[in-house]
Amino acid sequence: MTTAFVPPMLNGYFQRMSDAIHEHRGHVATFVGDGILAYFGALQPNPWQCDDAVRAALAMRAAIRDYNGELEAQGLPPLAVGIGIHRGPGLAGLMGCRERMEYAFVGRTVNLAARVQTLTRTHRVDILVTEALREQLDPRFVLTPMPAESVKGIAEPVVTYAVRET
């Protein structure tokens, strides 16, 4: 395995995105490559978890815009985000082994959220939510329906909605 230096700009990105998540009652579970897995309502009951997740995504959108201004001033390339949000059941708790234990949420819900995140590239948008999340969302959020798309591991095409500025 080759070890490489993590660019400071990546840590700056993680900090800004994590701050946006925490400010909206979310929990950063883990970093996966340059991605972030976050939970809303998994650590404690939260009847506003869907709204909080979308507000966090909107805050992440604003934070990346600001951060890109800082990067540009340093002569560095801009970063982009793709955020997929889904809600549903799963198994939550401490998982792992003696050497490494972490709080995790596993199941189809996490898998579908990851697939929805990849659809942000297909639809050329930065934030997508699923139908299951939309059903629980405050109607004041501005959403645009996207064409249903097939994704790996899911039998039926997935219906998503792009989140617009409110």
For residue 120, the domain's CATH number is: 3.30.70.1230
37 vs 104: CA distance, rounded Å: 10
In a domain, 150, yes or no: yes
In a domain, 146, yes or no: yes
Alpha helix locations (H) across the chain?
Answer: 8-23, 49-73, 108-123, 131-134
Task: Answer yes or no: are the C-beta atoms of 106 and 90 closer than 8 Å.
Answer: yes
pLDDT at 2: 62
Task: Kindly state the percentage of the chain with pLDDT values over 90.
Answer: 71
Q: Which of 37-46, 47-56, 115-124, 133-142 has the lowest mean pLDDT?
A: 37-46
* Domain of residue 95, residue span: 8-163
How many domains does one find in the chain? 1
Which residue in 133, 115, 122 sits closest to 56, CA to CA? 133
pLDDT at 6: 59
In a domain, 3, yes or no: no
In a domain, 75, yes or no: yes
Pairing relation of β-strands 160-163 and 127-130?
Answer: antiparallel
In a domain, 91, yes or no: yes
- The predicted model scores a pTM of 0.90
